[in-house]
Amino acid sequence: MKIAVVGCAGRMGRMLVHEIASTPGCVLAGGTEPPGSPFVGQDPAVLAGLDPSGLVISADARAVFEAADAVIDFTRPAATVAHAELAAATGTALIIGTTGLDKEQTAQIAAAAAGVPMVMAPNFSVGVNLLFALTELVASKLGIDYDIEIVEMHHRHKVDAPSGTALGIGRAAAKGRGVDLEDAQVLSREGITGPREAGTIGFATLRGGDVVGDHTAIFAADGERLELSHKASSRGVFSKGAVRSALWTKDRAPGLYTMADVLGVGG
């Protein structure tokens, strides 16, 4: 499968290029950076610490999409929406790891996926997606006398909060309880908040250092507490899952899929 990476010069982009090159059945088809980037014209494989590929990083996203069977996108929300429309126009599968998408942007991506397979996930780690499934299961078995709190920590450079993964855990917990996360979530607390409201799903966000990603779902009741945690020590787990998802889209019907679909764990 010919796989390209948009935003290929960033930390995640370089890791994706490396993963594609080292995965059997895959070949790097190209990479993009925005017009004016100093990386345009450079070899994406060399930037990723590999031998020269003969490819050059392009500012022409459409040409890269046309040359690929699948494209992996870990960029920014506005760019991802444009890439989804480009994927639909060129018949190219799209793997989306971008976080911070709002409802309107998600709806635009879903509309584009009507014509081509897309996999969108807040986190492409196999372990995290099993955490989603476990959180949903536990939430479905415990009553609202178990308060749900989600704690996440990432490196100091992360620009969105709570993380997309934390929100994914929240959605899993809400689904287990049969409620809408937007109705139950408490994204922050400050000042005199009063007692905790039963049935809510709270979030706490920590930022600092070079933490790749720590997430914990806490179910706290009188007398006991159950915690489900995942800690990522390398972004390699995300690139492996994204490339696995790209391979999974081969001959797949159009539609917007999740990493749960790729792993066959429901959700």
* Known active-site residue 154: yes
* Known active-site residue 158: yes
Tell me whether residue 224 is exposed, middle or buried, using C-beta atoms within 10 angstroms of its C-beta: 0 to 12, 13 to 18, 19 or more: exposed
The per-residue b/e assignment along 18-43, b for 16 or more CB within 10 angstroms, e otherwise, is bbbbebeebebbbbbbeeeeebbebb
Tell me which of 2, 103, 155, 158 is the catalytic residue.
158
Tell me which of 154, 215, 230, 240 is the catalytic residue.
154
The strand pairing partners of 204, in sequence order, are 151
Give the active site residues. Answer: 154, 158
